[in-house]
């Protein structure tokens, strides 16, 4: 028995020395397997205790168990030490000098057209209007027929509209959303409709795709005075309190009477004949509007004897051109950061 207990003590000392000398988790694992693994000598001694004489089993078992516990404690302690050393090493290697200047952030900003869209939409939402949206690929009915646009109207020509298969078109205005809204609910209706529209046009003041914001109000007792007051308030919201507005007679298939709204030139106020913004006229054309044609109301099932309404449509791209003095509409669509960073 003495020889066996002496061997257990010897194995314990060897194991503790191996654990203390381990400089990595891999070396520590090797020491564990060597002294506590399934095939380790100490494990074999513990397995053989049952074959010892009864009077020796307790002493040998106690010695073997104490050796195993002590080695386990040493392994756990050394594991903690190695982990702490590894954390310290990584912190040293990954240390950041907080006194160094940081990397500058590239600040983003809204596109100038998007700014106009959000300002206009926020204004009408504040008046109680609801934002409405619809498909950009439309049927002939919603894009033309329901809006009182006859079959021989120039807007239906191939030179003006992108026609697709099966009687579909890329919408030329957001007015189809107004029709869909009226067909889906009873009056009163107050909606503002922002979205992309498409026309076969490209020059410094026109692009094949552009943004549009339209609005529709249908209720009892609405008049042209309500339309003018609403648009004047919107113009002051976007261009400032000093802006003046005027209405000029115009013609649109889906409104009667129809008007165009001009705003006073906020650069010269009409006092500079050489003004590059208004060309000396003192006024800037801004949007088209009018009272909803009774034929349109009848088409969607509204009684024009009971309800009246007004509609308006504006181009936020053109409004951004006017507001920021940009000479070519195409600059808004080219994605040139040198241009966009000016805003």
Tell which residue, 328, 205, 325, has the closest CA to residue 265: 325
The yes-or-no verdict on residue 36 having pLDDT over 70 is yes
Is 60 exceeded by the pLDDT of residue 1? no
Q: Which residues contact 111 (CB under 8 A, 6 or more apart)?
A: 332, 340, 343
Tell me the mean pLDDT in the region 240-269.
Answer: 86
How far is 126 from 296, CA to CA, in rounded Å?
27
Nearest CA to 313 out of 145, 203, 189, 194 is that of 194
Percent of the chain with pLDDT over 70: 95
Asked whether the predicted pLDDT for residue 52 surpasses 60, the reply is yes
Is 323 or 2 the better-scoring residue by pLDDT?
323
Q: Residue 126: which pLDDT band, with cuts at 50, 70 and 90? A: very high
Mean pLDDT of the 207-217 span: 90
- Give residue 228's pLDDT: 93
**Considering only CA atoms, which of 226, 205, 340, 198 is closest in space to residue 291?**
226
pLDDT at residue 115, as a whole number: 92
Q: What distance in Å separates the CA atoms of residue 151 and residue 284, rounded to the nearest whole number?
A: 32
Please state the length of the chain: 343
Query: What confidence tens digit (pLDDT) does each residue in 59-82 have?
Result: 777 877 888 888 889 888 888 888
CA–CA gap between residue 117 and residue 123 (Å, rounded)? 10
Binding residues: 256
Least confident among 143-147, 266-270, 302-306, 326-330: 266-270
Per-residue model confidence as pLDDT tens digits over 218-244:
999 999 999 999 999 999 898 888 888
User: Residue 217 above 90 pLDDT?
Assistant: yes
Residue 138 near residue 292 (C-beta atoms within 8 A): no
pLDDT bin (cut points 50, 70, 90) of residue 137 is very high
Give the DSSP letter of residue 173. Answer: S
Q: Across all residues in the chain, what is the average pLDDT?
A: 86
Helix (H, G, I), strand (E, B) or coil at 231: helix
Q: How far is CA 320 from CA 110, 116, 155, in A?
A: 12, 7, 25
165-184 burial, b for 16+ CB within 10 Å, e for fewer? eeeebbbbbbbbbbbbbbee
Q: What is the pLDDT of residue 204?
A: 61
Give the angle 291-286-256 at the CA atoms, nearest 5°. 15
pLDDT band at 100 (very low <50, low <70, confident <90, very high): confident
Query: Rounded to whole angstroms, how far apart are CA atoms 232 and 223?
Result: 15
Q: Which of 329, 307, 267 is nearest to 116 (CA)?
A: 329
Residue 174: name the closest of 231, 248, 229, 121 by CA: 121
What is the pTM (predicted TM-score) of this model? 0.65
Compute the average pLDDT of residues 253-258: 91
Q: Which residue positions form the known binding site for Mg(2+)?
A: 256
Q: What is the pLDDT of residue 330?
A: 82
Tokens 């007004």 belong to residue: 310
pLDDT digits (tens, 9 = 90+) for 319-337: 888 788 787 778 888 888 8
């Amino acid at each position: 028995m003495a020889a066996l207990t002496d061997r257990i003590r010897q194995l314990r000392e060897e194991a503790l020395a191996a654990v203390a000398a381990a400089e990595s988790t891999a070396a520590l694992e090797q020491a564990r397997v060597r002294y506590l693994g399934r095939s380790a000598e100490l494990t074999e001694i513990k397995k053989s205790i049952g074959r010892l004489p009864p009077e020796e089993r307790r002493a040998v078992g106690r010695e073997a168990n104490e050796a195993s516990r002590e080695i386990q404690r040493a392994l756990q302690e050394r594991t903690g030490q190695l982990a702490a050393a590894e954390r310290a090493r990584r912190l040293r290697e990954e240390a950041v000098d907080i006194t160094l200047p940081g990397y500058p952030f590239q600040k983003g900003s809204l596109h100038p057209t998007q700014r106009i869209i959000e300002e206009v939409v926020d204004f009408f939402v504040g008046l109680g209007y609801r934002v409405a949206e619809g498909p950009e690929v439309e049927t002939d009915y919603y894009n033309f027929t329901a809006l009182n646009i006859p079959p021989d109207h120039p807007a239906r020509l191939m030179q003006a509209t992108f026609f697709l298969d099966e009687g579909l078109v890329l919408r030329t205005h957001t007015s189809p959303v107004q029709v869909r809204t009226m067909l889906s609910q009873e009056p009163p209706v107050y909606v503002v409709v922002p979205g992309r529209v498409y026309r076969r046009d490209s020059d410094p003041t026109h692009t094949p795709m552009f943004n549009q914001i339209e609005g529709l109000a249908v209720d009892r007792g609405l008049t042209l005075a309500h339309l003018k007051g609403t648009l004047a308030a919107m113009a002051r919201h976007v261009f400032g309190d000093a802006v003046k507005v005027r209405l000029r007679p115009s013609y649109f298939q889906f409104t009667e009477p129809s008007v165009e709204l001009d705003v006073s030139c906020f650069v010269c106020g009409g006092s500079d004949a050489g003004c590059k913004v208004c060309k000396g006229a003192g006024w800037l054309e801004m949007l088209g509007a009018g009272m909803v044609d009774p034929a349109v109301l009848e088409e969607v099932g509204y009684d024009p004897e009971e309800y009246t309404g007004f509609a308006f449509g504006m181009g936020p791209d053109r409004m951004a051109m006017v507001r920021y003095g940009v000479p070519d509409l195409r600059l808004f669509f080219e994605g040139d950061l040198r241009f966009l960073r000016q805003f």
